[in-house]
Amino acid sequence: MLIADEFFLIAHNDSRGKAKLHPTAAGLGLAGGLLGELVLYGHVTVIDGTVTVVDRRPPADALAHTVLDQLVGEAQHQSVRTWLSFLGQTAVTAVGERLARGGVLRRQESRRLLKTTVSYVPLDLNVVAWPATRLRAVLERPDPPGVPDALLLGLVAAVGLTREVLWSAGPRAHHRLNLLIPALPPPLKELVAHTEAAVGAAVLRGI
C-alpha cells in the first residue's frame, strides 16, 4: 500500500470507518502522506518550507498524478504549510476513494436531516488493522525500517496517532520511534515537522 493509504487505515481503524482523530488532523496527516509519496517517487522535494517540483512526468498512481498536476498548475504557491492546508481539505475523500477503488474499503452514504454523510467502511477488518500491526512489528525488529515506513511512522507521530501503533509494544519500539524521525532524509524530516506544526496550529485554533 501507499503511504497515505496506510495512514488512512491507521487513522480509521474502526468497523464503521470512523476516524480516530479530528477530521482536520486526519486531513493534514493524509496531505503529508500524499506529498511524501511524491517525494519518495522523486517528483518533488521539500527545502526550507517550500515544495519544489523536480520531475513533471506523471506518476503511475492516478491520485499522485492529480496532486502533482495541482502543484505544477499552482507553481506560484510553494509553501509546504499552504499545500498541507489545501490538500488536507479533500485528502480524506481522495484517499478513501483510492482505497475504495482498490477494493479495501466500501463507500457508504447516509442521509440525516437533509445532510448526506460519506464514510468508507472496511471490507475486511484484518486488512484495515494490518498497517498498525505491521509498523509495530517493524519497530520491534532489530534491523532498521525502510524510509517509507519511517516516513509513515513520522506522520503517525505528527498527528498524535502513536498509541494506535504502539499500544502493545515494548520499550524497544518506543525508543526506536524516537530515533527514526530525526534520521529521515532532510526533505521528509522537514515534511513531518511541518505536518506536526500544522496540526498543532489547528488545535490552537480549536479545530
The highest-confidence range among 9-13, 117-121, 151-155, 174-178, by mean pLDDT, is 151-155
- What is the predicted pLDDT for the residue at 74? 94
Angle at which helices 147-158 and 186-204 pack, to 10 degrees? 10
Q: Return the percentage of the chain with pLDDT > 90, whole number.
A: 71
Amino acid, res. 49: G
- What is the predicted pLDDT for the residue at 14? 80
3-201 CATH pick, 3.40.50.1370, 1.25.40.10, 1.10.3630.10, 3.30.450.40: 1.10.3630.10
- What is the predicted pLDDT for the residue at 169? 77
Burial (0-12, 13-18, 19+ Cβ within 10 Å), 59: middle
Q: Which residue has the higher pLDDT, 201 or 206?
A: 201
Q: Return the percentage of the chain with pLDDT > 70, whole number.
A: 100
Which regions of the chain does DSSP assign to beta strands (E)? 44-47, 50-53, 105-112, 115-122
- What is the predicted pLDDT for the residue at 140? 86
Is the pLDDT score of 49 beyond 90?
A: yes
Amino acid, res. 12: H
DSSP three-state, residue 72:
helix
Mean pLDDT (whole number) for 140-168: 91
Is the pLDDT score of 100 beyond 90?
A: yes
- What is the predicted pLDDT for the residue at 115? 82
Q: Which residue has the higher pLDDT, 112 or 66?
A: 66
- What is the predicted pLDDT for the residue at 144? 85
Phi, psi of 197 (to 5 degrees): -65, -40
Cell of 110: 447516509
- What is the predicted pLDDT for the residue at 193? 97
**Domain extent listing, the chain:** 3-201
Q: Which residue has the higher pLDDT, 169 or 52?
A: 52
Alpha carbon 186 to its chain centroid, in Å, reads 18
Per-chain mean pLDDT for the chain = 92
- What is the predicted pLDDT for the residue at 70? 97
Say which residues have a Cβ less than 8 Å from residue 100's Cβ, sequence separation at least 6: 106, 107, 120
- What is the predicted pLDDT for the residue at 206? 74
Overall pTM > 0.75: yes
- What is the predicted pLDDT for the residue at 165? 87
Q: How far apart are CA 123 and CA 29, in angstroms?
A: 23
- What is the predicted pLDDT for the residue at 195? 98
